[in-house]
Structure 1
Amino acid sequence: MSPLPRLSGVHPILYAFYGPDGRLDRAALERQVDVCLAAGCHGIALLGLVTEVFRLSTQERLDLVGWAAARIGGRVPLMATVAEVSVHGQLDFIAEAQRRGADWVVLQPPPVKGVSEREILRFLGAVADRSPLPVGVQNNPLNMEVSVSNDALLALHRNHPNIRFMKAEGPAVSVGAFAREAAKTCDVFAGHGGIEWPTNLRSSCQGLIPAPELVDAQVEIWRLWSAGETERAEALHRAILPIVVFMSRALPLLIAYGKRLMARRMGWAELHPRQPETAVTPFGMEELDRFAQLLGPLPEAPGAPLSPALRRLAGID
């Protein structure tokens, strides 16, 4: 396997937006790519829980990969999560995702209850060994019905060299020792919206895969941290933390409110959710509007400075 550059930084995972007819909205997908690139993201991800992969057909998933790859145009790597439930199904999907422009794939433990950890590792290893693309593994005990131990993840990486990164989600104190060991030879990413982003960085995580509505702030946190300006990075994290917590309480709430906040920050007022969807409340929408005012719009052009609203919020002027 040819050497690849190490992955790091902020790789937002995009939402699936729909048109009035219920079909995927390509223009909305492309708009998300544009604002994430303008914010300085280091990669883009698709087809995980945030993208509502459970609502999408295989053809829709592949369409999103092709649309995103075409819009990215090779400027940053594109990750695609694989949701098929068999080894052959996953390998077929990976081959087609590669043809459409994916650079990496992300595997998850198959959602089959009652299966031993050993069998889960065999499944993931069989896909990784035969994948034509480099592989990451997502382990999310809080939001996924099936997960494995940190020791199992380390063994998986040691035994299958095509596994190049891990998205280890959970309390930072639970994955800290894993991150410090795995990061010696593997890229370790945090998740859960970046709720413990600075702590994750201290624990040796090299990246974050969050939902995209706070991409500008989270890229800036990464930039400040990498430049040694850790106090300013912490200040910005504290400023956005109430919003991260609001969005991170439960996956259905993230999709219902996070997608709407992303739309607000991109200048859109109307959404067409795919049913069934968690209902939003008047109070929830009041909070959402308040968050949008606090954050300001997402950047429109690459290299644009952090919005004045965010700078005021964080007190980093």
Structure 2
Amino acid sequence: MTDLLFGTNLVAMVTPMEPDGSVSRPGLDGLVDHLLATGCDGIVVGGTTGESPTLTDTESADLVRTVSRLVGGRAKVIAGVGTNNTATSIERAREASSAGADALLLVCPYYSRPTQAGVIAHCTAVADATELPVMLYDVPARAGIAMEPSTLLELACHPRIRAVKDAKGDLFEAMSVMARSPLAYYCGIDELNLPYLACGAAGLVSVVGNVAADRNAALIQAVRDGDLKSAQVIQSELIPLTERIMRTSQGAIMAKAVLAERGIIPHASVRLPLLEAAFA
């Protein structure tokens, strides 16, 4: 089952940092404890919200190793390994596997704007590099291109490509691909968590979950129980927090601001080109 590979209530974890820009070990300790205590069963390490473009290869592997040790098998650790360089992505995948990751998150190659055949070749090469299950990340707003349905259907034939984090927002397309393939869908847009779950998504990969994984867990359970009314209430209650984190500035910036405000991480520091929130 996909639940056993990735979990259902996943959090796109921020990377806690000290004011000098170094990775904060006290911040990691506190944040991982918080995520586990609030019902997160999958932690995405070194994804977009983890400021992956600013992490070195060594930092990325160390983060996976540290978080895997802190989690101790209580949740899945999914390592973000995608870049726009296939060779680099393969190396990061192998390093993540050696560091203890349970699965990989592979973003559609950004900036280079390859053809769909190039996307397929890239994803296949990375999936072939380890024995870990792979979750594709379809995020055209960041990548500059989308994974077309035919591309997703072809990649679904790979034995290790098992899921999609969908930040495209096309619900009909998502339902169509789910109906025609074994790919499990995970909502990657916090504003649309309930619609995706109602349409058959297996779970969430949430930025807001850094702060409110317990509410996301309740939302997932309400949908699974067929209790749409309760799910609507939970989603409505989450709107102010979702708006603050996802619509006020940028997700990683604001998630860190709220976490620091609540004392879960010691600092709201980010790395350039991001700037720390000037307001809470």
Q: 2:229: which partner in 1?
A: 231
Structure 2 CA distance, aligned partners of 1:35 and 1:175? 35
Contact 2:27 2:266 in 1 (8 A): no
Q: 2:86: which partner in 1?
A: 87
Gaps of 5+ in 2: none
Structure 1 CA distance, aligned partners of 2:193 and 2:89? 31
Q: CA deviation at 1:28?
A: 0.7
Gaps of 5+ in 1: 289-317
- Measured against aligned partners, the alpha-carbon deviations of 1:151-184 in whole angstroms (never above 9, x if no partner) come to 31122112x12101111222253443235325x5
Structure 2 CA distance, aligned partners of 1:246 and 1:178? 32
Q: Secondary structure at the match of 2:142?
A: coil
Q: 1:291: which partner in 2?
A: none
Q: 1:206: which partner in 2?
A: 202
Aligned CA distance change for structure 1 residues 179 and 237 (closer, same or farther; 3 Å): farther
Q: Secondary structure at the match of 1:11?
A: strand
Q: CA deviation at 1:9?
A: 1.8
Q: 1:161: which partner in 2?
A: 159
Q: Secondary structure at the match of 2:90?
A: helix
The 5-angstrom pairing of residues 62-73 of structure 1 reads 62-73=61-72
- AA aligned to 1:210 is S
Q: Secondary structure at the match of 1:164?
A: strand
Q: Secondary structure at the match of 1:48?
A: coil
Q: CA deviation at 1:254?
A: 1.6
Q: CA RMSD in A?
A: 2.4
Structure whose CA Rg is larger: 1
Contact 1:11 1:42 in 2 (8 A): yes
Aligned CA distance change for structure 1 residues 124 and 230 (closer, same or farther; 3 Å): same
- AA aligned to 2:195 is T
- AA aligned to 1:259 is K
1:144 aligns with 2:140: no
Q: 1:191: which partner in 2?
A: 188
Structure 2 CA distance, aligned partners of 1:268 and 1:197? 25
Q: Percent same amino acid among aligned pairs?
A: 22
TM-score (norm 2): 0.89
Structure 2 CA distance, aligned partners of 1:102 and 1:280? 31
Q: 1:39: which partner in 2?
A: 38
Contact 2:245 2:251 in 1 (8 A): yes
1:48 aligns with 2:10: no
Contact 2:42 2:76 in 1 (8 A): yes
Q: Secondary structure at the match of 1:12?
A: strand
Q: CA deviation at 1:267?
A: 4.7
Alignment counterpart, residue 214 of structure 2, candidates 204, 213, 216: 216
TM-score (norm 1): 0.80
